[in-house]
Structure 1
Amino acid sequence: MMARVWLHPYGIERDYTNSLVRATRQFNKEINSSYGDMRFDGWQDDLIGILAYLRNAGNRIFQPVIERLPSFFSLTSQFNDKQWRLIVKVGTGVELPPSQAIIAGQTTVPVSSGVLGVDAYRAESWLREMQELWVSENTRLIKSIPADELSDMEGIIQRGVMNGSSADTIKKQIQERYGVTERRAKLIAVDQIGKANSALTKQRQADAGVTRYKWRGVLDERERQVHLFREGESYEWSNPPPDGHPGQPIRCRCYAEPDWTGSVFDIGE
């Protein structure tokens, strides 16, 4: 039987990316406005005030994205769970019940049905802790966006003044950092949704006793050469490749096709 392709949560990834990029662009506008009237002859006093204002602006602008993090994880978990149940159904013929998913203030209790050795409700007690760790790490990454940009801005101004650079040159150098910051925001969102999806896949397969998988990729022009070479190769969850399991490397869209041998779904011929 041909295995089903495990789809990637592109829609959630896109939503997170758009939210974070919008916040980053708004913050860059605040930077533009704040240094517009800066006196570079009295730059030290001005810089202290501007940085204090921008730190507060950064907290205000990025906070709405941080508040959405539990929802982004919850949606990724629900998407992943749906894919997992479809993979199980196609691969084994078993109708696996949905996850109870008691996270982000939402509880879904499915109809009870015994499925081999799998908890009928699949309460997934590990899910809340995984969400909390993911939200904490993403909060740290998001807060680092304005913090790092302000640190770069401060360095550019200090070096520019000491070197006798013109105000226009200093402003241009600051603006050139905007693209770098925006690309970093995109990378954070894409990479973190992929990592959440990968972690959920690993744990759900572990819950079912799956210990091995076949590496599967998207097989397009964006896929790493080393990942193309792994296509169809078998790996153990306990012994990952050098750069990690599918979905763990930065921007990786590969997935783990479960090997049912020895799992709760392995009922022999």
Structure 2
Amino acid sequence: MASKPKTLKPVRPNAGVGAQYERELLDLIDEMERSLRYWLRARYRKVESRITQDASPAASLQMLMNKLTARWRLRFNDLAKYLAPDFVSGAAQHAEGSFKRDLAAKTGFTIQFKPTEGVQDAMRACVEENVLLIKSIGEHHLSEVNQMVMRSVAHGGDLGELTEGLQQRFGITRRRAANIARDQNAKVTSAINKQRQIETGLFEAEWVHSAGGKHPRASHVEAGRKKLRFDVREGALIDGERIWPGQKPNCRCSSRVILRGFNDK
């Protein structure tokens, strides 16, 4: 009977890297929320008694929103410039370090990773995606708040209703940011790990389901249960398409590299 080939441990996202990313996002969101709430409440109180068919309150609040939008758009753009590359670099270092340590432990081979063109391309793509995502958090929130304010003016809403709506929108934005941090941590880890596997010539892997998440994909659970094997250069055939662990939204799956030629005796 053929002996079972050795495998490497699945390279999973580093919780600390993801937590730092999430913390930076939430800190800026919290600061933005306090600023919007303060200035909108102050301006709304001044014009609330005139919110009927008078265009003046709407114009005044729109001018305020234009200023606040410009200010916070710039803050999120500035955050994206340094947070995206720092996050991707941290996730990549963790992925490479985990892969390298386990490979040395299982095979005795010590390798030194170099910044190859393939890895650099993968990291650039990840940075660009995260820059856009970080900017989108601010843009989407500010757009929604602007619409809420204008609707409140148009329908004669009071400050209490607007404040409640702002609080609900704030919660939605915070949850979206936390989800982005978790999702991107998995995606970046997977992308870098895949590239390093290819460069070391370790093409065979098996799918590992995370067993996490409230609503796991049935096909991913099944792939993990069957230990679905695939070529990392092509991806695993699941639901009629070739994909990699962590590629799909909110996928927390990983893979286990199969080491041919290093069988246990």
What is the TM-score when the length of structure 2 is the normalising length? 0.81
Are residue 148 (structure 1) and residue 140 (structure 2) matched?
Answer: yes
1:228 equivalent in structure 2 = 221
Pairing 1:203–2:195 present: yes
Are the counterparts in 1 of residues 137 and 177 from structure 2 also a CA contact under 8 Å? yes
Distance (whole Å) between structure 1 residues aligned to residue 74 and residue 15 of structure 2: 27
Task: Check whether the contact 2:212–2:252 (CA below 8 A) recurs between aligned residues.
Answer: no
1:77 aligns with 2:77: no
Deviation at 1:235, TM superposition (A): 2.4
> 1:43, 1:200 → 2: CA distance?
52
Which structure has greater helix proportion? 2
Contact 2:33 2:170 in 1 (8 A): yes
The SS at the match of 1:177 is helix
Q: Output the CA distance in 1 between the equivalents of 2:120 and 2:7.
A: 34
Q: Give the equivalent residue in structure 2 for 1:258.
A: 257
The C-alpha deviation readout for 1:69-110, integer Å capped at 9, x for no partner, is 21211111111111111332344x14232323xxxxxxxxxx
- Which segment drifts farther, 39-48 or 192-201? 39-48
Q: Hey, what does 2:39 align to over in structure 1? A: 34
- Out of 174, 181, 184, the position equivalent to 2:173 is 181
Stretches of structure 2 that go unaligned for 5 or more consecutive residues are 1-5
Partner-residue secondary structure (3-state), 2:251: coil
State the identity %.
21
Select the structure with the greater relative contact order (CA < 8 A; seq sep ≥ 6).
2
What is the match of residue 161 of structure 1? 153
In structure 2, the residue matched to 1:68 is 83
Cα pair 2:26 2:174 within 8 Å, conserved: yes
Cα offset for 1:236?
Answer: 3.0
CA RMSD, Structure 1 to Structure 2 (Å): 2.5
Aligned partner of residue 257 in structure 1, secondary structure = strand
For residue 30 of structure 2, what is the amino acid of its counterpart? R
Unaligned runs of 5+ in 1: 101-122
1:188 deviation in Å? 1.2
